[in-house]
Structure formats: C-alpha cells, structure tokens
Amino acid sequence: MASNLIRVSTSLVLVVLVALTVQIFYISPIDPVLLDIKPAPSTKDNQLQNIIKLGEGLLKEPEDVVVDKEGTLYTATRDGWIKRLRRNNGKWENWKHIDSHTLLGIATAKEGGLIVCDTSKGLLKVTEEDGFSVLVSHVNGSQLRFADDVIEGSNGNVYFSVVSTKFDLQDWYLDVLEARPRGQVLKYNPTSNETVIVLDNVAFANGVALSKDEDYLVVCETWKYRCLRHWLEGANKGTTDIFIENLPGAPDNINLAPDGSFWIALIQVVAVLTRHWLTAGQAYDKIHGGKNGKREGECMDIRSAC
C-alpha cells in the first residue's frame, strides 16, 4: 500500500514538473530579463487631497485631457466617446464617438480638431465637421499595436509614442513583466504623409511632451521610473539622454507647464500589477527567480492623492 502511494505521488510530481516546464519555457508569452529598480525617494505630501474631481461617475477610464484655445476641456474615454467640458455651464457633453474601447492620449491640432491615439486603429484626426480619419495605421509595413500619447509641434509635425511593438493594450502588464524595451517614439509629417521612427527600444514609451522652445522632446519610460530627453535642435540634435530618473512613481502622462517645466502623472506599477496577477500566471511563473522638472530634469514638486 505504501509503495503504491509513493509511486502515485512520484508520478503526480513528475506530471506537475513536466506541466510547469512546458508552461514556463514553451507557452509563456514573455521572454523576461532582470529589471533592477532603485529604491524610490519618498516625501510626505498631501497637496492633492483637496483636488476637485471633474466628471466623477460620468467618464469611463479617461486617459488624458487637453484644453483648446477656447478653453474647452476634452478627454477620450474607454467607451469610445470624446467628451468635453464646457466653460460656460461646467457640464460634460458627448462630442464625437469612435467605435473603439482603446482611446488613450489626445492633443489639439493647430488647424483645428484633435489628434487621438487609438491602440487598435492607430493615430486619428477628429474634427467637428468630418468626424474621425486615420492618419497612421502602419509603420514600415507593420501595424501599430499600442499608440499611447501624442503632441503636435508648431511646424505641424506630430510626435507620438508606441508603448510596445509586441504587446497590445489588454496585455500591457506583460511588457512590464518581460522588461524588454520594445517601445518607440514616431514622427508623422502631415505634408509628406510620412511616418518615421525617432526613438526605438524605449521602455514602455508612454507620455510625450515638447519643450517650450521645441528644441527637445521628453518621453516617459514607465517601468524604468524615468524620462528620456531627445534633442530635436541645437548642438545635441539627434542625441538622447536621461532627463530625470528614479522618480517616486512610474511616469505615465506628461504635459508642458506655462513656465517651461513639466507636469508628470505618476502611477504605482506594482499596485496595478497585483490586479492582473491571477491572469498573468504564465508570465509570473517564468520570472519568479528575478529581483524584487526643470530643463535639467530636477524634481520640483510631488503631489499625491491618497
């Protein structure tokens, strides 16, 4: 009897080991590398505890906001609506609807309307008269998988980020777990209708912003807790350096402030990942052995909502 139990137990262990081996090395959707993150600085801060919440209960997962020259605020939501907040009455209204649940970053266009990132369709132009049209859906023959944030320069060139060339929006956490830089920053020229890669191998390329003089571009590398600066003009044109690093949270969106500094929205990646932990079993199994401003990139202020 005892020997039979031992044989059965041994067989079960072997079956489990074989299953785990297949799961980890053959089925897992990621090929992870070690991500070594420095301890984040901390500060006691409660400046956002008295914020005014706009559209609470009315907006479905808004990602980004933009204000046009008339002072109207726009945001794109996951139910496909681009909604706007009127200054005259303070009420939200549905503006344009796009058949999509993957709308993210938005920016104003100098010729009117908005430019919107849709992770499934690509880069879109949305106007009052014509609805939406697709500006960019493919780059170098490959379909855009995960367009995230966008900004238009005064010369009409449009810069936008692609989080990953491997994973799409619903699998964003796999990009974090894999920890291989597969993001890009692209430039769309509306005159020539050409799109070129400005930056490649960016770690979860997220928010993008132009400097006040438009001589450099800042892009957030979310899971590296830092922002890169890519020079567009001047002696350093074409080069890239670290704008700011070791932020107290993972940088998401970024916007230029009136004084030339930047506002950066931070998220807590680890906290968000825990919500995906059960669905990320394939990825987790494979990585269980891993380790746990201003123009010059100075962190000027930290405001957190608790």
Tokens of 178: 């894999």
Higher-confidence position of 133 and 279: 133
Task: Name the residue among 195, 199, 189 with its Cα closest to residue 143.
Answer: 195
Cα Rg of the chain (Å, integer): 22
Q: What contacts 24+ positions apart, CB below 8 Å, involve 71-77?
A: 74/106, 74/114, 75/106, 76/103, 76/104, 76/105, 76/106, 76/116, 77/103
Tokens of 291: 């380790």
Confidence band of 268 (pLDDT split at 50, 70, 90): confident
Question: In one letter, which amino acid is 34?
Answer: L
Confidence band of 10 (pLDDT split at 50, 70, 90): low
List pLDDT tens digits, range 42-59.
766 677 788 888 898 899
Task: Name the residue among 242, 240, 208 with its Cα closest to residue 225.
Answer: 242
Q: Which of 8-12, 172-176, 238-242, 269-273 has the lowest mean pLDDT?
A: 8-12
Domains of the chain: 31-287 (2.120.10.30)
DSSP string, 28-60: -S--------PPPP-----TTTTPPPSSTTTSS
The per-residue pLDDT for 293 is: 52
Question: In one letter, which amino acid is 5?
Answer: L
The rounded distance, in Å, linking the Cα atoms of 81 and 60 is 9
Q: Who's near 304: CB < 8 A, 6+ residues apart?
A: 45, 46, 47, 48, 249, 266
The rounded distance, in Å, linking the Cα atoms of 171 and 282 is 12
The pTM for the full model equals 0.82
Tokens of 77: 């939501």
Residue 224 DSSP class:
G
Containing 264, the helix (H) or strand (E) segment is strand 262-267
DSSP string, 69-134: TT--EEEE-TTSEEEEE-TTT--EEEEEE-S-S-EEEEEE-TTSSEEEEETTTEEEEEETTTEEEE
Residue with tokens 């269980």: 288
List pLDDT tens digits, range 69-126.
999 999 999 999 999 998 888 899 999 999 999 999 999 999 999 999 999 999 999 9
The per-residue pLDDT for 290 is: 29
Question: How many C-beta atoms lie closer than 10 Å to residue 148's C-beta?
Answer: 28
The rounded distance, in Å, linking the Cα atoms of 62 and 53 is 12
> Is the pLDDT at 19 greater than 70, yes or no?
no
List pLDDT tens digits, range 162-211.
999 999 898 988 998 899 999 999 999 999 999 999 999 999 999 999 99
The rounded distance, in Å, linking the Cα atoms of 151 and 117 is 10
The rounded distance, in Å, linking the Cα atoms of 119 and 144 is 7
